Structure 1
Amino acid sequence: MKGKTLWGIIFGLVVTNCLTIALLLNNGKTSIATSSNEAATQSETVAQIGDEVINRQEWLAELENRFGKTTLENMINKKVVEELAKKYDIEVPEKVIDRELMMFKATYNAFGEEGIQEEENWREQIRYSILLEELLTKDVDVSEEEMRQYFDANKQYYQIDTSYHLSHIVVKTKEEVSQILKELDEGSSFEALAAERSIDEITAANGGDLGYVSENSNNYTPKKYVEEAGKLKKGEWSNAIQIDDQYAIILLHEKLDGVAYRYEDVRDQIRRQLALEQMEGNVTTKKLWEEIGVTWFYGNQD
């Protein structure tokens, strides 16, 4: 599904860019000082290797050399998109963000615990991605017939099973699982216990996080997990679940109710997907820069 993949790539780049901006801006904030202490701040040691030191000024200079141009470009892109969206009166309704967030969660299985904690940031990134796509494709014609045919051929991608975002802890014995349940009841962190005790090495390193699973998941999640998850409330963990000769506890982070989207629900998304496919190598913000008029530290935007 080329258009779906392309949307995922664009959204992934947007997320990466936003996270990069946040990281560098946070670092930058720490370097701002009044004139009286600016020199001391810049000469502050951030690392010491034997007798050698790296000071803050050297560190920030290296960050600027490595990431400065890309970070500034991303910041400009965001401003350009916001201003042109106002110019063309393009808005993204909350229900559209809700739907695309749900589809992205269920389809790409990309939201872990951090994603839940920072959901407002994810929503803003989705909003930005949609605005960018709308601006890039506003002059591309896609017929109603093409969109209908696309929807009919790809209906399965717009039908989401009821899904559960789970974490688990897997141990070998009844005694171990009983002890873990006791510690959870006493207030211990599920993620910490998973990292420390779970014998599933793949998920233990991430606090036991399994991502989103459903009855039709292809990630080999035991069906008992889905059955038990349906009995839990958000934030609750299960009793011991026996899986072959092992025992598990699952924690429910979030439930996504299943839905089958209609053509009318996803028509605009399909239009953007098909328009982006038509554009092929022309998916760039360069024209947007030219339209609004951008000058910057690095000269030409090429």
Structure 2
Amino acid sequence: MNIRSILRGLRQVQTSECGAPLGHTGFWVRLFFPSLFLTFLLASGPTTSHGQSRSPEARAPNVLSTINGTPIGRDDVIYQATIVEGRKQPALTQGHLKNVLERIIRDELIYQRAMALGLDADPGYQSALSLAMVQINAYKRKKLAEVFFRREVTDKAIVSDAEAKAYFDKNVRRIRAELHLEQILVRKEAEIKTILKELDQGASFESVARKQFPSLPKLPREPWDLGYLTWKQIPESWRNVVYDLKPGEHSSIIRGPNRRFWIVNLVERRENSNLSFADVEKHIKNLLKDAKVEQLRAKTLQELRDKARIEYFKWSVSEFDEKERD
């Protein structure tokens, strides 16, 4: 892993999987980013600087300098120049890089003297280092989990030609169907329930859908009219509903991700009898692979939990408040 990929990864883990900021920890990580990067190198193995866990000989091809035996490498200079000082790499010159190296040597000398004086015991320094390690540990978990699931789950979820063909034969009527659909989409469950009640009481789909667009100008096609959709275009959450509808019939409430609620109306159905297995083979294999990945992922996670010894301790939310105040 090179310096650029490490830095990109460190920035990525400043947010959670759902994109929410990490808050207190993220603030300190940004504040102590240089320390964070060096801590990462210490935590993940041999380093070219500060860690002193790799000999100059082992790092010789990229070593630019040594200070009391501690090597300073090319990656140290790239990091200092592009991240800490905000320079764009194509604009770097030999003279600038030499100046950057001298600044790193200066900082390393100060670092070594501070360590000799025992200043690394400073509470503020240790606190910042601990918070940086939280970020580093999150990065390591995230990146290794990606490698693990790619090798142990995704790469093992193989779909054969026979499986894909069997799926096509079993679902050929759906696959060749083209559905003319209309939709009503809202984000509030109470609202979609009210809409469904109106439709069930006899209101036309168009009149109810139009209420969602009170200032709608004249358009070639109404925004709720999706036209004809092929099997590949039908959203996954709709598939077990729309193919059972009759023309003029609306669905019940369809729940989707991110608090999306639909009611779908089937206008017309037609069949594309010329559609062959070859036309949809790739899509079928992707669909089946996704299903296998989810199944294998769930199975693997359960096996890991079953084999692990996980202990939960008593704690309260007040501990988190105290951590924030600290």
TM-score (norm 1): 0.29
TM-score (norm 2): 0.27
Structure (1 or 2) with the larger CA radius of gyration: 2
